[in-house]
Amino acid sequence: MISENLKEGHKVPQLYALVNSKCPRCRKGNVFINSMYGFKAQKMHENCLHCNLKFEREPGYFYVAMFVSYGFNVVQMILAGMLTYIITGNTENPWLYMAVIFPVVLILAPFNYRFSRLILLHYLTPGLHYIPEMSKERKPDSRRA
């Protein structure tokens, strides 16, 4: 249903753009080059291929994404620890918790990396807003700066 609306020229929902790693300004171009769990999975385009938005707004821009990623890690570790506690019947062995939490953190690292940058772009960047006119199909040589 969403893909049909996108073809008809309706506004692209922000959650759809975030989940599918789309540009925050036009919500058409891909932010990342590859899928999440492939080789060179976390390589980003420098600019949006649709509207030419520069993703790294200034030098060191994505350092802020480390704080978002840290928040993701804390929540994931707490949830993994609580689930381990519940599933194992209130076991208090610290090695068990480390054996569960460490792989969870490693497996979810690509997710944290990708979505911390996307959340920074979509929600935490002042002055970067969705422009519905940029979602429309463009002519081959009509890139905006």
* Helix boundaries (H) for the chain: 2-7, 14-19, 65-87, 94-123
Q: In whole angstroms, what is the distance from residue 76 CA to residue 105 CA?
A: 7
Tens of pLDDT along 45-103?
999 999 999 999 889 999 999 999 999 999 999 999 999 999 999 888 999 999 999 99
Where do the structural domains in the chain lie, given as residue ranges?
A: 1-57+126-145, 60-124
Supply the pLDDT for residue 1.
Answer: 46
The predicted model scores a pTM of 0.80
